[in-house]
Amino acid sequence: MVTLAIAKQTLEDMLRRKILLVLLIIAVGMIALGPSVGFLSPRESSAVLRSLGLAVILLAGLLITILSGIQVIPTEIERRTIYTVLSKPVQRYEFVLGKFLGGIFTVFVMIAAMGVVFLSVLAWQEKRFDPEMLKGVVLTFFQMTLLGALAIFFSTFATPVVNFFLSFGLFIVGNLSSVTDSLISNKNPATRIMANAVHYIIPNFGNFNLQNKLIHPSVEISNANVFIVQNIVYAVIYSAVLLLLAILVFDKREV
Amino acid sequence: MAAAVSIQGLTKKYLDVWNKAEITAVDNLNLEVNEGEIFGFLGRNGAGKTTTIKMLLGLIFPTSGSATVLGKPVGDTDAKAQISYLPEEAYFYESMTGWDCMDFYGRLFRIPEPQRSKRIQKALEDVFLDPKAWRRPLRGYSKGMRQRIGIAQALINDPKLLFLDEPTSGLDPIAHRELRDIIVNVGKQGKTVFLSSHQLPDVELVCSRVAIIHQGKLLASGTIQDLTTGDTVEISADRVSESLAGRIRGVVPAAELVGQRLHISAADPSKVNDVVDLIRGGGATLLSVKPHKRMLEDVFVDVVMNEGGA
Ligand SMILES: Nc1ncnc2c1ncn2[C@@H]1O[C@H](COP(=O)(O)OP(=O)(O)OP(=O)(O)O)[C@@H](O)[C@H]1O
Ligand SMILES: [Mg+2]
């Protein structure tokens, strides 16, 4: 109950920020106007919308996740609102979890809003509902959950600016799984070890991009649904580990 | 009487910004606060009051030493449910309304509805926050209104022990008096108050016991009565001759003669009769004999200045 109260407060605080509203308006505008780029045949315009929609949701989701992940905890310390919270019968783990959940609820609300617009526009355009794209949106949300947990973990010891580069950098590296994949079979043992380390330690963000299936058709996915569930489980377990580490660090933190 | 707060050898060292020099903010502090008393925690700016309070609440951790609060080690959740804290400068979530802010804190104390709404209503009434402001965002609150919310959130859990860090700083005289009366009232309900304040006249009025710390060390502690004993008497006389002054100095060495005027600012009351007899017998004119009550402020200045802390 305490965790949820903190999550609710965090969500409400985030949703009141103008930057989120601006992002949402821009993203929804791009998705809604995507198909009307004139001079495209209905088939082309459908293809544009599909990649544009997922890309816009990913980009906006990325910004919101990083923005909220790097600052929900530091803001509390900087504004000293944390004093009146942690002096109450609130465990530090409840605080970290509440802050994380509040950030993730925010991301969820934003992605859900963009997703509904995207799927509706697509359904209107194609006169049918495409479950593939819904899966794409859901995977993006879990990708952001993992990124959010990473940013929360860093925020327990790094400043927001450092955290921004750490989280963003790891997100990019984690998206290059195909590169590390190919390096793992490199002849040089040092390169192999490095590639292995990067591949297994850094969260594998690349696996969440359904678009990659189009870009790398050679990667054969036998059962898409199993693949999606695997990724969701991966995101949940990896996030749980990151949160556990975040709690361990924050437990010792002076506020 | 049981101890509400018990501090043993508490020490806190901070590193400075460059992580080089150490600042000993609290230095081997030993202190007991009894249940049901309003305890004044005094010291100059930077003496270590806030640091001590933050350690007692588990917000920061001691370098060495230990403390118990309501008989439990610092940070114990059961104890925290019966504690409340008003930070030095009250910071809240600016976009929340006064009521929502109280509701949030009520949830953190795990107070269920409908009890929570009742407690909020009572707390806001107790601190005389204008009901018109209850549903307005805190960002539009004045300093005094914020301070009232700060006290209200420290009352919402009906605590046994309140830590109030300078609750009356920056308030107008009326608000100041109102908040002081709230603290007196809290004390009458048998709650323990750990009060850090620079308003010594207030402290003298509301506190039963005080401690004075300086550069992190405890310099003095005791009841106000004990600390302020040693009332003195001021005597002045005119047309005092040198030889008379000499005889008077035999009784009270601190006598000052300026021209023919004699002034004794701190005479032991038991010596007053002797001095007055000498003055009258020596042909001088007695001007006044005034009792001078020693105030907490005098004690504070004496204690802190004697420590060489300018
Ligand atoms: N986070 C910190 N890092 C480094 N030094 C600190 C920190 N917090 C406090 N100090 C130092 O510790 C000492 C005690 O500070 P503290 O805030 O406890 O004083 P105080 O008695 O509450 O003073 P005031 O009456 O001004 O509120 C000061 O020298 C202060 O500079
Ligand atoms: Mg202070």
A230 touches chain B (CB under 8 A): no
Closest ligand (CA of B164)? 2
Dist. CA B48 → ligand 2 center (Å): 7
What is the sign of the dihedral through the CA atoms of B224, B229, B235 and B241? Answer: negative
Predicted pLDDT at B152: 96
Decide whether any atom of ligand 1 lies within 6 Å of the B109 Cβ: no
Mean pLDDT, rounded, of chain B: 91
Q: Which residue type occupies A72?
A: V
Contact B246, B210 (CB under 8 A): no
Contacts of B80 in chain A (CB under 8 A): 87-90
- A14 shares contact with chain B (CB less than 8 Å): no
Span B187-200, average pLDDT: 95
Q: What is the pTM of this model?
A: 0.88
Q: Which among B11, B13, B18, B51 is the best mutation to test ligand 1's pocket, defined by most ligand atoms within 8 Å of the CB?
A: B51
Residue that wins the pLDDT comparison between B125 and B259: B125
Alpha helices in chain B (DSSP H): 49-56, 77-81, 98-108, 115-126, 143-155, 173-188, 200-206, 224-228, 242-251, 272-281, 296-306
Atom of ligand 1 lying closest to residue B53 CA: 18
Q: Which of B56, B77, B108, B138 to mutate to test the interface with A (most CBs of A within 10 A)?
A: B108
Which pLDDT score is estimated for A178?
64
Under the banding of pLDDT at 50, 70 and 90, the label for residue B290 is: confident
Share of residues in chain B with pLDDT > 90 (%): 69
| Spatial CA neighbour of A2 closest among A102, A91, A105, A106 | A91
The band of B250, judged by pLDDT with boundaries at 50, 70 and 90, is: confident
- 3 state DSSP class of B134: coil
The position carrying tokens 């009307």 is A36
Q: Of A255, A9, A69, A254, whose CA–CA distance to B94 is shortest?
A: A9
Bridge partners (DSSP) of residue B212 are B42, B220
Ligand 1: distance of its center to the CA of B51 in Å?
6
Q: Residue A88's closest chain B neighbor by CA?
A: B80
pLDDT of residue A212: 56
Residues with pLDDT less than 50, chain A: 214-217
Rounded mean pLDDT, B90-102: 93
Please give the ipTM for the structure prediction. Answer: 0.88
pLDDT digits (tens, 9 = 90+) for B51-78: 999 999 999 999 999 999 999 999 999 9
CB atoms within 10 A of CB B294: 15
The residues pairing with B33 across neighbouring beta strands, listed in sequence order, are B5
Instruction: Compute the distance between CA of residue A151 and CA of residue B127 in angstroms, rounded to an integer.
Output: 40
Instruction: Say which residues have a Cβ less than 8 Å from residue A117's Cβ, sequence separation at least 6.
Output: A28, A31, A32
pLDDT band, residue B299 (cuts 50/70/90):
confident
- Touching check for A211 and chain B: CB below 8 Å? no
Q: What is the pLDDT of residues B126-163, one digit of tens each?
A: 999 999 999 999 999 999 999 999 999 999 999 999 99
Mean pLDDT of B92-97: 94
pLDDT score of A215: 45
Sequence-separated contacts (24+) of A240-244 with Cβ below 8 Å: A240/A149, A242/A146, A242/A149, A242/A150, A242/A152, A242/A153, A243/A96, A243/A97, A243/A100, A243/A149, A243/A152, A243/A153
Residue A222, pLDDT score? 62
Of the partner residues A1, A81, A89, the one whose CB lies closest to the CB of residue B80: A89
User: Which of the residue ranges A130-139, A171-180, B183-192, B298-307 has the most confident prediction, judged by mean pLDDT?
Assistant: B183-192
pLDDT of residue A139: 93
pLDDT-based confidence at residue B310 (cuts at 50, 70, 90): very low
- Please tell me the number of Cα atoms within 13 Å of B169 on its side-chain side: 12
From the CA of B214, which ligand is nearest?
Answer: 1
List the Cα angle B154/B160/B165 in 5-degree steps.
45
**β pairing state of B209-214 and B38-43:** parallel
Q: What's the pLDDT at B101?
A: 97
Nearest to A153 by CA among A38, A33, A73, A67: A73
Ligand 1 within 6 A of B23 CB? Answer: yes
Tokens 């010596």 correspond to what residue? B271
Q: pLDDT value at position A104?
A: 97
CB B93 within 8 A of CB B138: yes
CA distance B304 to B219: 8
Model confidence at B300: pLDDT above 70: yes
Report the Cα A243 to chain-centroid distance in Å: 15
